[in-house]
Amino acid sequence: MRIAIEGGPGKWPVKVYRVRMKLDAQQHLERLNLYGMVQGLRYVVRLNDLKTAQHLRARLARVLRRPDNLAKPLRGDLKELFEISGLWVRNAGSRHDSKLQIRRLIRRIVPRVKI
């Protein structure tokens, strides 16, 4: 997503708006799939469904294995989500704190993945 600013050199910006970058069909499908995974993980964490969370983490790991299909900041957040959700599934530390971290991360990820 880019930010476009209307105005000329030496002029104040008249209008600032966001321009969505065009995605081809494959990229659109991958984004939609990733959006579904993140939203699904949000739901199963809320329900404390560990088995389904493990399946969604496995799918997320497959997405992260591909080298260059995501922007670096998004990839970093998804890696962090993968690691923290692993702690939550294995019950390492406080599950409540992990749950809060997961919810915070997902709130940060969803607007960037949403189509």
Answer yes or no: is 17 within a domain.
Answer: no
Judged on CB neighbours under 10 Å (0-12, 13-18, 19+), 78 is buried
Quick one: pLDDT at residue 19? Answer: 47
Residue range(s) defining the domain that contains residue 86? 24-113
Quick one: pLDDT at residue 28? Answer: 83
The Cα–Cα gap between 50 and 5 comes to: 46
Work out the percent of the chain whose per-residue pLDDT is above 90.
Answer: 51
Q: Are 67 and 79 in contact (CB under 8 A)?
A: no
Answer yes or no: is 45 within a domain.
Answer: yes
Answer yes or no: is 84 within a domain.
Answer: yes
Judged on CB neighbours under 10 Å (0-12, 13-18, 19+), 34 is buried
Answer yes or no: is 6 within a domain.
Answer: no
Answer yes or no: is 50 within a domain.
Answer: yes
- Confidence band of 68 (pLDDT split at 50, 70, 90): confident
Please tell me the total count of domains within the chain: 1
- Confidence band of 20 (pLDDT split at 50, 70, 90): low
pLDDT in tens, 45-60: 999 999 999 999 999 9
Answer yes or no: is 36 within a domain.
Answer: yes
Quick one: pLDDT at residue 43? Answer: 96
- Confidence band of 112 (pLDDT split at 50, 70, 90): confident
Q: Per-residue pLDDT for 17 more than 70?
A: no
Answer yes or no: is 39 within a domain.
Answer: yes
